Structure 1
Amino acid sequence: MFLDVSKDFIKKDLNSTKYRKRNINKINTLFKLTEKNDFTIDDQTWDDLMMNEVFYELDRTYSTEGEAALYKMLRNPIMDEEKLKERGKLIDLFKENLDLTVNLRKTFYNMIYDSKNRLLDMINDLIPVSKLKSFFYGIVGIIPILLILAAIIFKEPKIMIAVLVDIFINMYIHNKEESTINAIGLIYLRDLINTSKKLSSIKNDEIKLYTTKMKTLLNELSVLDKSTYLLKVLNSFGGLLQMFSIPFLIEESVFYRMSIKLVGKKNKILELYYLVGELDALISISLYQNDNKEKCCTPQFIKENSLKITDGIHPLLKNPVANSLEIFKKGIVLTGTNMSGKSTFLRMISTNILLAQTFNFALAHEYKGCFLNIISSISPKDDITSGKSYYLAEAESILRIIKGSEKEIPVFCPIDEIFRGTNPAERISSSAEILNYINKRNAICIVATHDRELSDILKENYDFYYFSEDVDNKNGLKFDYKLKKGISKTRNAIKLLDYIGYPKEIIQKSYRRVERMENFI
């Protein structure tokens, strides 16, 4: 049992960040169980954009359902402006209606938080269905009671030996079935149903769509509501009562009676799970926006294939440097040395597109653009298990983008160091042809590269920007992280080697070799 939390505590906790240990492989179970669409963020793009870390930054949910729904929403951007606006209205509602937000948060706080997400694990696993076991355990479970009654009625103490033997057999059955039966998952199902009842009783026209759907789903799950009540009682008081249920195989009997119903109601359970979680997730986003209100803007969506972000920042940076970019018809080539900010810039633009298309806000002064299908190629890796080289992994990664450009929604494709794993001549030739091909398709492309040779080849189809830094013996690396128009003219790699203490012979000969190579070219 739990103590009911006070509204004052919930109010004080509204602006706190949730520091808790999260298991992303459990949080993403709901996403894995549900259907994907053409614009679902794929695994590589999710990893490229460091979206697990962004998810942690946004997450202020209380419930297991809330964090699972928040994750799923981030993986499935919306390509419909009206639906996005409706979601944005709900987020604004939770920012403005403090009483409603506190009441909802209080309900979510009182839910049983399960970091292992055992309800979805139970649903996700193949639920065993056995009418024979349901009947058998029901009969076997009452035998100890009949034997005890017989011992009392006939006043025969020897019958108690049979009782002990029967209880021992039932305990053996319980231990054998323990790995199969997920009674704890049923307890969380009970908790979900109870919470849904509380939420559906809230009188508010602006969340009526949610409460009405919950009532409908609860009616369809009423048979499970009754069956899970006994398990809820048995697992109360730290599971103390559960010990007394083992000799009578109560959990086993209930589980196998419910298994057929659970299989039939799986989709309804998932729908209710997500519906409850979505409310918690939207409140989480409203709290994040309140904490960052001076950094947020409402996006403007247009039909024209273009993108404009003014003073955009990345959510993971504590002291971000804002940058602006406008893309229309031409793609973008980014140049500059390592650590100057190119990859972070690619992630900043991509993450803001995703936030705009999931929760109707961006971390920028202004956001204006069309709907975009985000497919990235920032950090593909060698796959030792499949024998794939880095080059093959990147080639397959770029092919995802080319296929994405054939769809109705324009693809936004941030690419970092295209084909860095192959020789210069082939890299530059193939990169130029691929980038020109993508730019002619339904796409907005930003590519970061060290290959300045691409500039002459791509100048008709791409605009050029760069990041720069200084290296000197006194101050070391100095970055301003500001985007600049044009092509980077600096080569600071050798300066960096000199700064960290490489032998002078290496430094001097490196400079001479670069000079000869440039004169040859």
Structure 2
Amino acid sequence: MLKVEKSEFMSISVSRSFLKKDLYSNKYKRRDLNKIKTLFDLSEKNNFTIDDQTWNDLIMDEVFNELDRTYSAEGEAALYKMLRNPIMDEEELDKRGNLIELFKKDIDLTVNLRKIFFDMCYDKKNRLIEMINGLLSVSKLKYYLYTILGLTPIVWILAAIILREPKVMIILMLDIYTKIYVHNKERDTINTVGLVYLRELIDAAKILSSIKNNEIKSYTAKMKDLLNELSAIDKSTYLLTLTNSFFGIIDMLSVPFFLQESIYYKISGKLIEKKDTILELYYLVGEIDALISVAIYQNNNDGKYSKPKFIKATSLKIKDGIHPLLKKPVANSIEISKKGIMLTGTNMSGKSTFLRMVSTNILLAQTFNFVLGKEYEGCFLNIVSSLSPKDDIINGKSYYLAEAESILRIIKASQKEIPVFCPIDEIFRGTNPLERISSSAEILNYINKGKAICIVATHDRELSDMLKENYDFYHFSEEVDNESGLKFDYKLKKGISKTRNAIKLLEYVGYPKEIIQNSYKRMEKIEGFI
């Protein structure tokens, strides 16, 4: 694995040979997802945006880390935003897919673009977004005041020369000391680091927009238009590249002249006025970095992925699908059309992983036009999940109440124009068996009547008779013995699971024989009673 560390506030130029080799390396870096998601948090959401619960259910933070080979903070933010906003338009997906193919095939173009992103200062704390997101202080009075006071050192120096009076230099020293004090007071407000990152964004966009390539012309032309809108800010921030150069020496020299203060208060109002334009440029630059990242991921997983086929009928077909986070994945296939799917099976046999595999591939298909599998055919789907959380209390609510609200999200989504894909794991686990099974059966039948493709994993085999008209049944299984332990094949099989392993697992990990034997006896009595 190639690794070059870049400091937050320093760009490092590297050779083309390094960048070529880095295309085939695994990308390791420390990421702050709370910072990376800021652009998404600020952006407008739509009816198909992946909500927080679904994102967390599918372990998408880790999937993001797996896909992320970006160099810039803009690229990270754009990649995250793209994953949270699936596309419901085949033409738009094809455009993304074509760009990804371009970046895979045209290595020279990709390396040239990567060099631009690598040479940018890496804004790991998202200072630019933080600065323009409501933290700007606007004051025309301060602009005029600092501009005028910035000229006083020149006045005192000229006075000392003309009057030949050394004592004037004492006044100059007091003037400088006062300005150092004011500069330190204003530093948090001005946050010039954010302005420097804005300068970096503008410079990178200028270089990108100058690239002559018809296939990325839609990006470069749009960048030129946005840069024209930001021309006044461009000119004003140019001096900031000097004040933060040479290890801060010029920064110190600029303090007596209130250079940073004057520039900041001159353009702070313009920054607020052009906030949306800056964010659009930020995302546009980042989108190229993000698409290159996906192209690199595909190149490093050659033979494991394919292009999805989208159809109008409410159905889904995945052949030999795998999950991106598994090092040694077991491929599984599924076809769903008019009926939903009920998964049964014992603990740890693969049900939850299967739900996430299908969901993640739907998301990859509808964001980057590829899936991890040999074949994918399906309609556009709105993904809304309800997988089992680990805690019994969620955000101050009982597990049952939280899950009831979670399932209601799915019911509402099933009434929309775009069909909903709803993976559900252990529905209503937090309530008594009688009410759980009764309400689960009614809810699952109701969802299947709407525009929905539903896969539900459950241990409640009693649901099979209640749902047989609207659901097909599949299961996962394993073997447990005292010699070889647990043996899972993680392969999806038709039918309802006939085995249980909870008591066998207790025996395997070393529970007393008395507990094991009495548990089996008690289970036989309960089954006989039922």
Q: The TM-score by the shorter chain falls in which range? A: over 0.9
The alignment status of 1:323 with 2:332, answered yes or no, reads yes
Give the CA deviation at 1:384. Answer: 5.8
Aligned to 1:166: 175
Give the CA deviation at 1:243. Answer: 1.2
Give the CA deviation at 1:265. Answer: 0.8
Aligned to 1:389: 398
The CA distance in 2 between the partners of 1:297 and 1:406, in whole Å, is 31
Q: 1:122 aligns with which of 131, 135, 150?
A: 131
Q: 1:442 aligns with which of 440, 445, 451?
A: 451
Deviations 1:95-134 (A, max 9, x none): 1111111111111111111211111111113311111111
Aligned to 2:113: 104
1:478 partner SS: strand
Within a 5 Å distance, the mapping from 1:92-491 to structure 2 comes to 92-380=101-389, 387-491=396-500
Give the CA deviation at 1:4. Answer: 3.3
The alignment status of 1:506 with 2:515, answered yes or no, reads yes
Give the CA deviation at 1:307. Answer: 0.1
Deviations 1:182-229 (A, max 9, x none): 101111111111111111111111111111111111111111111111
2:292 partner SS: helix
Aligned to 1:46: 55
The CA distance in 2 between the partners of 1:354 and 1:302, in whole Å, is 16
The CA distance in 2 between the partners of 1:374 and 1:67, in whole Å, is 22
1:153 partner SS: helix
Matched residue pairs, number? 521
CA contact (8 A) 2:37 2:81 kept: yes
The alignment status of 1:81 with 2:81, answered yes or no, reads no
The CA distance in 2 between the partners of 1:205 and 1:264, in whole Å, is 32
Give the CA deviation at 1:387. Answer: 2.8
Deviates more, 1:365-374 or 1:5-14: 5-14
CA contact (8 A) 1:380 1:397 kept: no
2:362 partner SS: helix
1:430 partner SS: helix
Q: 1:34 aligns with which of 37, 43, 56?
A: 43
Give the CA deviation at 1:405. Answer: 0.8
Aligned to 2:5: none
Aligned to 2:3: none
The CA distance in 1 between the partners of 2:13 and 2:383, in whole Å, is 43
In structure 2, stretches of 5+ residues that fail to align are 1-9
The CA distance in 1 between the partners of 2:97 and 2:12, in whole Å, is 34
Give the CA deviation at 1:148. Answer: 2.1
Give the CA deviation at 1:144. Answer: 2.3
Paired letter, 2:51? D
1:105 partner SS: helix
Paired letter, 2:41? K
CA contact (8 A) 2:11 2:118 kept: no
1:308 partner SS: strand
CA contact (8 A) 2:11 2:121 kept: no
CA contact (8 A) 1:407 1:442 kept: yes
Give the CA deviation at 1:369. Answer: 0.2
The CA distance in 2 between the partners of 1:516 and 1:466, in whole Å, is 26
Deviations 1:240-293 (A, max 9, x none): 211111222211111010101101111111111111111111111111111112
The CA distance in 2 between the partners of 1:3 and 1:116, in whole Å, is 18
Aligned to 1:60: 69
In structure 1, stretches of 5+ residues that fail to align are none
Paired letter, 1:306? S
Aligned to 1:17: 26
Give the CA deviation at 1:3. Answer: 5.2
The CA distance in 1 between the partners of 2:406 and 2:341, in whole Å, is 19
CA contact (8 A) 1:380 1:394 kept: no
Give the CA deviation at 1:177. Answer: 1.1
1:297 partner SS: coil
Paired letter, 1:434? I
The CA distance in 2 between the partners of 1:389 and 1:26, in whole Å, is 30
The CA distance in 2 between the partners of 1:393 and 1:328, in whole Å, is 30
CA contact (8 A) 2:101 2:295 kept: yes
Deviates more, 1:397-406 or 1:309-318: 397-406
CA contact (8 A) 2:12 2:118 kept: no
Deviations 1:161-198 (A, max 9, x none): 22222222211211111111110111111111111111
Deviations 1:117-159 (A, max 9, x none): 1111111133111111111111222222212221222121222
TM-score, structure 1 normalization? 0.98
Give the CA deviation at 1:380. Answer: 4.0
TM-score, structure 2 normalization? 0.96
Give the CA deviation at 1:237. Answer: 1.7
CA contact (8 A) 2:110 2:292 kept: yes
The CA distance in 2 between the partners of 1:379 and 1:115, in whole Å, is 33
Relative distance call for 1:385 and 1:517 in structure 2 (3 A) is: closer
The CA distance in 1 between the partners of 2:383 and 2:121, in whole Å, is 35
CA contact (8 A) 2:307 2:371 kept: yes
In the TM superposition, structure 1's runs of 4+ consecutive aligned residues that sit over 6 Å from their partners are none
Paired letter, 2:406? S
2:188 partner SS: coil
Give the CA deviation at 1:34. Answer: 1.0
CA contact (8 A) 1:79 1:371 kept: yes
1:421 partner SS: coil
2:317 partner SS: strand
The CA distance in 2 between the partners of 1:83 and 1:52, in whole Å, is 25
The CA distance in 1 between the partners of 2:394 and 2:238, in whole Å, is 47
1:362 partner SS: coil
Relative distance call for 1:472 and 1:383 in structure 2 (3 A) is: closer
The CA distance in 2 between the partners of 1:483 and 1:462, in whole Å, is 16
CA contact (8 A) 1:64 1:114 kept: yes
1:320 partner SS: coil
Relative distance call for 1:503 and 1:381 in structure 2 (3 A) is: closer
CA contact (8 A) 2:121 2:200 kept: yes
Alignment root-mean-square deviation, CA: 1.2
The CA distance in 1 between the partners of 2:12 and 2:272, in whole Å, is 34
Paired letter, 2:196? I
